[in-house]
Amino acid sequence: MWRVAVVGSGFIGSTIASVLASRGCDVDAIDVNERLIAAFLRGDHPIKEPGLGELSDEQMACGRLRFSCDFSRVANADVILLTVGTPLADDFTPNVSHIRSAIESIAPHVRDNQLVMVKSTVPPGTTRTLVAEPLRQAADVRVAFSPERLAEGAAIRELASLPIVVGGMDARSSAAAEAFWRETLGVDVIVVSSPEAAEMVKLANNLWIDLNIALAHELAKLCDALPYDLDVLEVIAGANSLKKGQHYVNILTPSNGVGGYCLTKDPWFVHTLGAAHGTELLTPQISRTVNAGMPAYCAAQIAQWARRQDRALSNLRLAVLGLAFKTNSGDIRLTPVMPLLDALHSEGFRTITIHDPMVRKEDADDSGVELNSSMDDTLRDADGVIFLVGHDDFKALSPERIASLAAPGALVFDGRRYFTRAEIAELQTLGLAYKGVGR
Ligand SMILES: NC(=O)c1ccc[n+]([C@@H]2O[C@H](COP(=O)([O-])OP(=O)(O)OC[C@H]3O[C@@H](n4cnc5c(N)ncnc54)[C@H](O)[C@@H]3O)[C@@H](O)[C@H]2O)c1
Mean pLDDT computed over 354-373: 95
How far is the CA of 52 from the CAs of 11, 68, 79, 158, 427, in angstroms? 10, 18, 22, 13, 36
Residue to probe by mutation, ligand 1, list 31, 80, 103, most atoms within 8 Å of CB? 31
CA 375 to ligand 1 centroid distance, Å: 32
Sign of CA dihedral 385, 258, 91, 117: positive
CA 9 to ligand 1 centroid distance, Å: 7
Quote the mean pLDDT of the chain: 96
Question: Does residue 32 carry a pLDDT above 90?
Answer: yes
Supply the residue whose CA is at minimum distance from atom 25 of ligand 1: 8
Using the atom order of ligand 1, give the atom closest to the CA of residue 99. Answer: 31
CA 13 to ligand 1 centroid distance, Å: 7
Which of 77, 111, 110 lies closest to 1, judged by CA? Answer: 77
Mean pLDDT computed over 27-44: 97
pLDDT digits (tens, 9 = 90+) for 372-390: 999 999 999 999 999 999 9
How far is the CA of 149 from the CAs of 176, 186, 210, 288, 325, in angstroms? 20, 16, 14, 19, 17
391 CB-near residues (< 8 Å, 6+ apart): 321, 322, 324, 327, 328, 356, 357, 358
Mean pLDDT computed over 286-315: 95
- Report residue 17's pLDDT band, with 50, 70 and 90 as the boundaries: very high
Using the atom order of ligand 1, give the atom closest to the CA of residue 265. Answer: 43
Using the atom order of ligand 1, give the atom closest to the CA of residue 121. Answer: 41
Supply the residue whose CA is at minimum distance from atom 35 of ligand 1: 8
- Report residue 271's pLDDT band, with 50, 70 and 90 as the boundaries: very high
% of the chain beyond a pLDDT of 90: 95
Write down the pLDDT at residue 110: 98
Residue to probe by mutation, ligand 1, list 84, 158, 207, 327, most atoms within 8 Å of CB? 84
Mean pLDDT computed over 364-379: 96
Mean pLDDT computed over 7-34: 98
Using the atom order of ligand 1, give the atom closest to the CA of residue 47. Answer: 20
Supply the residue whose CA is at minimum distance from atom 41 of ligand 1: 120
Q: Which helix (H) or strand (E) holds 383?
A: none
pLDDT digits (tens, 9 = 90+) for 141-150: 999 999 999 9
Angle at 158 between CA 263 and CA 245, to 5 degrees: 75
Mean pLDDT computed over 224-242: 98
Residue to probe by mutation, ligand 1, list 18, 83, 109, 326, most atoms within 8 Å of CB? 83
Using the atom order of ligand 1, give the atom closest to the CA of residue 262. Answer: 43
CA 422 to ligand 1 centroid distance, Å: 42
Using the atom order of ligand 1, give the atom closest to the CA of residue 13. Answer: 16
- Report residue 345's pLDDT band, with 50, 70 and 90 as the boundaries: very high
425 CB-near residues (< 8 Å, 6+ apart): none
CA 226 to ligand 1 centroid distance, Å: 43
Supply the residue whose CA is at minimum distance from atom 30 of ligand 1: 102
- Report residue 153's pLDDT band, with 50, 70 and 90 as the boundaries: confident
Mean pLDDT computed over 348-363: 95
Supply the residue whose CA is at minimum distance from atom 32 of ligand 1: 102
- Report residue 207's pLDDT band, with 50, 70 and 90 as the boundaries: very high
204 CB-near residues (< 8 Å, 6+ apart): none
Q: Which domains does the chain have, with CATH numbers?
A: 3-193 (3.40.50.720), 215-436 (3.40.50.720)
CA 12 to ligand 1 centroid distance, Å: 6
Ligand 1 — pocket residues by CB below 6 A? 7-13, 31-33, 36, 83-86, 98, 101-102, 105, 120-121, 148, 150, 152, 261-262
pLDDT digits (tens, 9 = 90+) for 384-437: 999 999 999 999 999 999 999 999 999 999 999 999 999 999 999 999 999 999
Write down the pLDDT at residue 97: 97
> Angle of helix 283-292 relative to helix 294-307, nearest 10 degrees?
30
Residue to probe by mutation, ligand 1, list 148, 149, 162, 328, most atoms within 8 Å of CB? 148
- Report residue 90's pLDDT band, with 50, 70 and 90 as the boundaries: confident
Supply the residue whose CA is at minimum distance from atom 10 of ligand 1: 120
Asked if 410 contacts 382 with a C-beta cutoff of 8 angstroms, the reply is: yes
